[in-house]
A and B are shown apart, each in its own frame.
Chain A
Amino acid sequence: MIDIPGKYWRASDGIHIDVRGLSAPEPMVSILRVIEAHEAENTIQVHHFCDPIYLYPELTERGWSCEIIPGEPDEVRLVLTRDK
């Protein structure tokens, strides 16, 4: 595991990162750090406070896509997927 701002854990469905409570641009930086630290992972779940629109160009640049899935009421849950 790496040292990043925000909560970060491994669950049965893969790695999760919770960036709620962080101020800009730390959510984006934390997510990208997790992506770069886990080259073998193909899926990462993100618990965010909003739709992180500035993250998308960075994800595309790194060959990742994402999708919003249902989550808790106070979050935007994202599933990041490495493009094949």
Chain B
Amino acid sequence: MTLAASFLGGARDRLLPASIPFRFFVAATLFHILAWTMLLAGAGELPEFAGGPGLILAALHLLTIGVLVIAAMGASYQLLPVAARHPLSRSWPAKLSFWLITPGTAVLAIGMVDASTGMLYVGGAGVSIGLLIFAGLTADNLWRASAMPIVAAHGWAALAALLGFLGLGLSLLADFDVGFLADRQIIATMHMILAAFGFMGLLVFGFSHILIPMFVLSRTLPVRIGWLEFFLAACAVLMTIFGLLYGNYLLVIMAALIGLAASASYFWLMRCALATRMRKRLGLSFILIYISWIMLAFSLLTGLAVSMELPIPNGSTLFGFLAIVGWLLTFLMGILQRIIPFLASMHAAGKNNVPPLLSELTTEGPLKVHAACHFVALVSCSAGIILNTPILVTMGAGLGTIGALAFSVFVGHVVLKLNPSR
């Protein structure tokens, strides 16, 4: 056995089995294709979508739970224990959470298409229990993460938002059945804000403190601005929720402005990382990450305009699309194309038991197709929403589907390079 072999043998024992994070990444990849396909099928309904069962609601949840949440779960299970320097004591709860949330998401989406309360309850239960297991495991990691207090603060706030959007989501499901909510639209908006900005948004901000410096090889980020960003972001989410709850739209407008300030702090932090980076060529993944940051700013400006009742055609739908697809999905795709080969290289053993080069695991062609299709899909769907033109949404969703298929070729290529025994 070579020196590298004995060394890496010890290192690998500290990693979760590759099958755990990769099952989440593969599921997210498949849900990504399904989400765009569902949007394609319901393209005509998107511009004036205002909630309620149907193809768009199903596509939205395939994207949010199926892609964003499931990928975040896989990444968290692998990254947080390493960053917190405390390995997961048991791997079965992570596996159980996968086997609950993955079929749960599919059943929930079918229930949303058919407006079937039975399917909604079954799917909702699977998703909820899966998310609660994830919350428990993440809380256990965060409890031990004293070395990274800013990341942990984002994580705790994201978990609080998770409990909030889960509770609201379950009450919306029950409302389909028994119709007890006085103002379903407000509850749905609060559910969306907590899920997109509270849970996923704070996870994105928090993980960026570790992942972006790690990818670009930079110094750690300024602590004071990091705390400022966290405080502003958490305040913006809380104020939006209270503003919606009490019908105080001045509070919502102020929350949008604070959200913009939080984003400005976040962009400042990211600029610090990029300014001190060792890695000069950041590649295609960072083009997607840059686009996602622009989309974050656009989504918040759109949200501000909507809360000020400025005349933006289908402004609420555009706000949701820019936040969920423009910001969160684009960011995730940029991160996944870095993290998947990176994790695979630590698990994949070559003939000499030495990890393969990252370049051997990455396939540039499918990623270029995905990036081009994804960008045009963003522009086309956004234009379709503003202009109330379903054909533009159809074109965008078609390209999004092609892009998602191309991304699956990339993920499949990496998975096939993994040692089957891991």
Contact = CB atoms under 8 A, between A and B. Distances in A.
Contact of B8 (A25, A26, A56): A56
Interface of A (DSSP majority class): mixed
A66 B4 contact: yes
A75 to B, nearest CB: 14
Interface residues of B, number: 33
B358 A51 contact: no
Interface residues of A, number: 26
Interface in A55-83: 56-58, 60-61, 65-68, 78, 81
Nearest to B15: A53
A65 B219 contact: no
Contacts, number: 81
A67 B7 contact: yes
A28 B211 CA distance: 12
Interface string B226-238: 0000000000000
Interface string B216-227: 011110000000
Contacts of B358: 57, 61
B6 interface: yes
Contact of B3 (A29, A51, A53, A65): A65
A66 B8 CA distance: 9
A68 B3 CA distance: 9
B278 A29 contact: yes
14 contacts: A23-B148, A25-B218, A29-B218, A29-B219, A29-B278, A53-B14, A53-B82, A54-B214, A56-B8, A56-B345, A60-B356, A61-B357, A66-B4, A66-B7
Interface of B: 2-4, 6-8, 10-12, 14-15, 82-83, 85, 147-148, 210, 213-214, 217-220, 278, 342, 345-346, 354-359
